[in-house]
Amino acid sequence: MLLIIMAAALIIGITICYLRSITIALMIITGTALSLGTGCFVYNIIYRIPIFPFLNLMSAFILIGIGCDDIFVFFDRWDQEKLEWLRKYQNKLLAENILLNSTNTYDDIPSNQQENPNKLKRSSSHDLSLFKHPEEIRKVLLSEEALIEIMSNTLKHAGSSMFVTSFTTSAAFLTNILTNISFIQVFGIFVGTCVLIYFAITFTAIAAFAVIYEKHIQNIISHVLSMCCTNFVNKAVNSAPAKLYHRFSSACRDFRNYIFGHFMPLIIIKLRYVSVLIFLLMGILGLIGSFYYPKLKVPSTQKTALFLKDNPMEIYEFSMKSQFNGYLKEDKRLFTYPAISFVFGIRDIDDGYIFDMNDRGRLHLMPLYLNRQITLEFFKNFIKHLGTRKDLFLSNYDLEEDFKLFYELATDDILVAKVINDRIKLNVSKTSHLNMIKYIRKINKTFIDNLISDTVRTLNYKIENDQSDHDGYVEKKLDQINLTLYKISNKQLKNRLNPVIIYSNYRKSFNRTLERIYKEQIQSNYDVNETRISLNNTLLDALTDEYQCSALKTAMQCITGVAGADNVPMDFCNRILTKQRSFNWVVLPDKPSPIDGSVRPFAVLITIRGVHNRTDYNSYNKYYMKVKNFFDPYIKQHAPEHLKHAWFSSSNFAFYGVQRELLSGSSSSLLVSLGIALVVLFLTSGNLFIAVYALITITFAIAITVGVFVVLEWELGIIEGIVIVMAVGLSVDFVVHFGVGYIHTDSTDIDNERKKVEDQSKPNGNEDDSEINTWRVMYRKQQVERATRVRGSILRVGSAVFMAAFTTFAAGFSMIFASVIAIRQMGQFLMAIMLTSWGFAMFFFLPLCLIIGPVGTCGSISFSRIIKCFKQTPRQQ
């Protein structure tokens, strides 16, 4: 907050010195506060972005600096239009031969040139004094007609350049959406929105306030001061400090008029070739340094310093930690030999809210058909093929062993045994115990005797004490089978000496033993080959699915600690978990069904260790692309149709993903923002050459800025990625103003200069000399027109552009005192980009226009004619 106040104080001071108005300075701060408040409302309520990182706080510095640009251009143009309107008003009176009480005089123009109203052209908005008394000027300007015309012309001429600068700056920030890093995305959205809101406030509220201030507030202030503080005001006006201030203000105005009205145009015109050559070489060197050697590199470590290295919170992490042997190879342990997981069953789609990093969205599941033989065979071959790629992966032995356990669930022997077992269970459930006994007696009568003898339990219990052992005691609920069993067993027992049993326990044991013997006899008579032949693919898939679901249910019970439920013993779970060699083959189960409790698979993860053992970005990128070039073609060629959605990832790729996203996201955002700037420049200026020259200038300014920071060993982190992209929006402002000023130079001035060239040329009688002279005159006309346009552009917006750059530079200067590295780097970048972009716009773009700039309508496209043609075409048809 202290730094923001410091930046605001600097801007207020600079604005007061330049515009000599405390009100306008306060309007800049008010506009910044309003845009920030409205931006927060849009950010939280309309965009519904739940996070607000500290990076967004830096938007206050950016808005204070950027806002001055529009304010300076607007009020500079406002003052010029007022003087222009007064000049036209006097010309109108002079044309009607009306004597005025006050005459227009130029400080630097002889009086004999003031008598012709057609030559009353001002060379600068500050060199013209139309009336002797300021009150006469105010009375003329306060008419509704004058204010409407002045505001209309101001918005017409300044509005286009203000819109271009604001739109391109906002677009540059908004292109950060192209990256997948949330902090960069939300920062770009917030600042881009605030810049557009600031433009809307400037174009509407501040413009309206300018009219209100001109018409009402000035009168109110002067009236109040004249009534309440007449003596004080008179003393203050006549005091020495006031006179000194007026002299200083007048000297500053004269100095500014001299610099941008005479000195700068003279230097640019005289040294245009040298200037273009020097800045061209600087731009080329910047491109080489930024993108070739030493070039901007991604971060070499995942550790990010938040404070300066001498900060107590950073000393251990960045100065002392590396001295311990345990941390020397920390990055190598984290990122070498990555565990690569190949994912099947889940599509690589993130449909969560793009601006909420906590919103993971929902899983997009695809059918696995894991029970099908074609799916299992694919996984078997794929795992086997992984073992052959020794250049990419380590041993796949554990992976093959884990998959083997799962694959056995679908082998023929297990499925045939399951079919036979299911048929036996069905037979047993439909066969009564009496029929079982009859079936067993047919096979071997001794089975029954052994059955009864094996199931008798002798206890010290008197038979007379248990009524259930009496011959005549039979419950009504007992069926004939149980009665028969009772008689057989009771008869067998009576032949024994002192037999004592509990019949209820005996009956249960007898029945279980009977069913077991019956099962064994039936199973021994089944033909396995005949059963195998009778199985079709549909039945095999159904059996495999049932086996897999049962295994998944058991595994889930073991993993979640609910062993014991559904008769799953704890010791079995322990054996299963210890038997698993690793988690290289993982089948992810869905939640148990609330209907039958079944568990079904929804995804498969195949994990294997990679052979990569380096941590630098280039080697990691090469390894990642090798894995991708192996996996994608293999899936496309060999995978079944329902598995072609597969993809791969690794937790060890996290930092590499950040590096790659910073590089690709920054590059794509930079290219898109440059493209947007080119289109907007072309649409605004209507001239293709100006748009291309401006784009080259912006590119060189960004390149030299980035090149300087590369030399200073900056890395492409989050802050650097943001500032590189927003460099387009910040550097485009100056070339836009100069380009629009170049195109919209007063045609009368151009015609007068071209006519002077014609008058100075003296044709000779020789035809060859005449032809040569014609080409020479044409060339001189073009050069004079370019010089006139450049001089007019500097006169029109030169001082405003310089002050806009200086105020943004001052805002950046106030940030370099922060202890947080991100804020300090942002301030350093603002200072550097303002210096380079203003320098290239002034000493490269304008000299380039002087040398090969468009003249006349060259390169211009009349959009009004195109629109008129489109409107007339349907009528003609």
Give 16 or 331, the one with higher predicted confidence: 16
For 623, the enclosing helix (H) or strand (E) is helix 617-638
Burial (Cβ within 10 Å: 0-12, 13-18, ≥19) of residue 56: buried
Q: Are 126 and 132 in contact (CB under 8 A)?
A: no
Q: Are 531 and 421 in contact (CB under 8 A)?
A: no
66-120 per-position pLDDT tens digit: 777 778 888 888 888 888 888 887 777 766 654 434 444 434 444 443 444 343 3
Question: CA torsion, points 316, 317, 322, 328, in degrees to nearest 10?
Answer: 140
Q: Are 213 and 21 in contact (CB under 8 A)?
A: no
pTM over 0.85: no
Stretch 362-388: mean pLDDT: 91
Give 379 or 568, the one with higher predicted confidence: 379
Q: What SS3 class is residue 203?
A: helix
251-301 per-position pLDDT tens digit: 877 888 889 888 999 999 999 999 999 999 999 999 999 988 888 888 887
CA 490 and chain centroid, separation: 86
Q: Are 32 and 60 in contact (CB under 8 A)?
A: yes
Angle 561-563-569 (CA atoms, 0-180°, nearest 5)? 145
Burial (Cβ within 10 Å: 0-12, 13-18, ≥19) of residue 259: middle
Stretch 498-511: mean pLDDT: 56
pLDDT for residue 128 is more than 50 = no
DSSP state of 307: B
Say how far apart CA 252 and CA 273 lie, in whole Å.
31
Residue 18 has which token pair?
């330049």
Say how far apart CA 196 and CA 171 lie, in whole Å.
9
Burial (Cβ within 10 Å: 0-12, 13-18, ≥19) of residue 347: middle
For 788, the enclosing helix (H) or strand (E) is helix 767-813
Q: Is the peptide bond before 294 cis (omega within 30 degrees of 0)?
A: yes
545-594 per-position pLDDT tens digit: 887 787 777 777 776 666 655 556 667 666 666 665 567 888 888 877 77
Q: Tokens 């190598």 belong to which residue?
A: 332
| DSSP string covering 707-773 | HHHHHTT-B--HHHHHHHHHHHHHHHHHHHHHHHHHHT--HHHHHHHHHHHHHH----S-HHHHHHH
678-724 per-position pLDDT tens digit: 888 888 778 889 999 999 999 999 999 999 999 988 888 888 888 88
User: Given phi > 0 = left and psi -120 to 50 = alpha, else beta, which region is 462?
Assistant: beta
pLDDT band at 455 (very low <50, low <70, confident <90, very high): low
Say how far apart CA 489 and CA 320 lie, in whole Å.
87
Residue 178 has which token pair?
């192209």
Residue 662 has which token pair?
């910073």
Q: Which of 9, 306, 32 is nearest to 191 (CA)?
A: 32
Say which amino acid occupies 794. I
The fraction of the chain above a pLDDT of 70, given in percent, is 77
- pLDDT for position 127: 40
pLDDT for residue 508 is more than 80 = no
Angle 399-401-406 (CA atoms, 0-180°, nearest 5)? 95
DSSP state of 590: P
Q: Which of 607, 608, 613, 585 is nearest to 334 (CA)?
A: 613
Cα torsion 12, 14, 15, 19: sign: positive
For 75, the enclosing helix (H) or strand (E) is helix 59-95
Cα maximum dimension of the chain? 160
Q: Are 607 and 586 in contact (CB under 8 A)?
A: yes
pLDDT for residue 815 is more than 80 = yes
- pLDDT for position 422: 82
Q: Are 428 and 515 in contact (CB under 8 A)?
A: yes
Reported as half-sphere exposure (CB side, CA atoms, 13 A), residue 337 has a value of 5
Burial (Cβ within 10 Å: 0-12, 13-18, ≥19) of residue 32: buried
177-230 per-position pLDDT tens digit: 888 888 888 999 999 999 999 988 888 888 888 888 877 777 776 666 566 665
Say how far apart CA 519 and CA 529 lie, in whole Å.
19
Stretch 16-40: mean pLDDT: 82
Residue 476 has which token pair?
């009504």
Q: What SS3 class is residue 513?
A: helix
pLDDT band at 327 (very low <50, low <70, confident <90, very high): low
pLDDT band at 234 (very low <50, low <70, confident <90, very high): low
- What values do phi and psi take at 673, rounded to 5? -65, -35
- pLDDT for position 147: 85
Stretch 629-646: mean pLDDT: 94
DSSP state of 100: P
CATH code that applies to domain 280-291+671-872: 1.20.1640.10
* Mean predicted lDDT score pLDDT of the chain: 78
Give 692 or 762, the one with higher predicted confidence: 692
User: How many contiguous H segments (helices) and E segments (strands) does the chain have?
Assistant: 33, 7
Domain locations in the chain as residue ranges: 2-231, 280-291+671-872, 339-406+582-655, 414-533
Q: Are 286 and 839 in contact (CB under 8 A)?
A: no
Give 596 or 100, the one with higher predicted confidence: 596
